[in-house]
């Protein structure tokens, strides 16, 4: 038992050391990037009008904060992100569930989902402004376009790839399709759904 305990402590020590090394290099890379960016800007090796510089970014942030505009902009962005994220999550789960229950419907709209997902959404910006108006709604609409179809494709693919052995076992026990979905598909894909939620947040933010 004592030997096992010592080995376990040694394992934890090495794991902690590895974590410290990784974090240290991550911080070092960030510092080198910021320092290099600032030096390139100071020596006029890059166009600060296009690429700015760390000092100018900090100066602008301080200016926004003193004018009480920074928190307002952060609040608006958070609001738009949360709203678009919730809409995308609800719609993607509902549509993916519908597609799982109806394989024929899934085969029918599958090519359309692929085409819609591959559209250059940012290029549709001017049309979105015309359709929805230059407001918060157009920003949220853009976030939906960028993240919704990808989310539906990912969630449905995960549902479809549920272990067939679970489904076969439940069918042999006389389970209905709803019971199979609730007892096998959803539990088997909880981690996939959570991962998809993480992707949704980042994609919605990119859209904003």
Q: What is the pLDDT of residues 139-197, one digit of tens each?
A: 888 888 888 898 999 999 999 888 888 888 888 888 888 988 888 888 888 888 899 88
Residues 6+ apart with CB under 8 A from 41: 48, 51, 52, 53, 54, 55, 56
The total of structural domains in the chain comes to 2
Q: To the nearest whole number, what is the mean pLDDT of the chain?
A: 87
Instruction: Say whether pLDDT at 16 is over 80.
Output: yes
Single out the residue in 37, 52, 67 at which a domain terminates.
67
The CATH number of whichever domain residue 163 belongs to comes to 1.10.3720.10
pTM to 2 decimal places: 0.72
What confidence score (pLDDT) does residue 3 get? Answer: 53
* Domain-ending residue, one of 46, 67, 88: 67
Same domain, 144 and 169: yes
**Cβ–Cβ < 8 Å for 81, 204:** yes
Are 206 and 109 within one domain? yes
> CA-CA distances (angstroms) from residue 138 to 107, 115, 151, 199?
31, 22, 20, 21
Please check whether residues 198 and 114 belong to one and the same domain.
yes
Host domain of residue 29: 1-67
Domain boundary among 67, 83, 98: 67
If asked whether residues 19 and 119 sit together in one domain, one would say no
Mean pLDDT confidence for 100-121: 88
Let me know whether 100 and 172 are in one domain.
yes
103 and 44 in a single domain? The answer is no
The answer, yes or no, to whether residue 2 has pLDDT greater than 60, is no
Instruction: Give the H/E segment covering residue 87.
Output: helix 70-101
Q: Does 103 share its domain with 178?
A: yes
């Amino acid at each position: 038992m004592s030997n096992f305990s010592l080995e376990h402590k040694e394992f934890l020590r090495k794991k902690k050391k590895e974590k410290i090394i990784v974090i240290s290099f991550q911080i070092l890379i960030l510092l080198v990037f910021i320092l290099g960016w600032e030096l390139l800007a100071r020596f006029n090796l890059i166009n600060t009008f296009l690429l700015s510089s760390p000092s100018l970014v900090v100066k602008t942030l301080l200016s926004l904060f003193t004018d009480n505009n920074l928190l307002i902009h952060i609040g608006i962005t958070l609001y738009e992100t949360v709203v678009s994220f919730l809409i995308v999550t609800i719609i993607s789960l509902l549509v993916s569930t519908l597609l799982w229950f109806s394989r024929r419907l899934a085969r029918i709209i599958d090519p359309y989902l692929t085409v819609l997902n591959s559209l250059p959404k940012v290029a549709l910006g001017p049309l979105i402004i015309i359709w929805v108006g230059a407001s918060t709604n157009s920003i949220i609409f853009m976030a939906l376009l960028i993240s919704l179809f990808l989310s539906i494709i990912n969630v449905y693919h995960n549902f479809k790839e549920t272990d067939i052995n679970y489904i076969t076992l439940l069918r042999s026990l006389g389970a209905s399709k709803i019971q199979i979905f609730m007892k096998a598909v959803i539990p088997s894909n909880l981690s996939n759904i959570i991962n998809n939620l993480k992707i949704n947040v980042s994609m919605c933010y990119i859209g904003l």
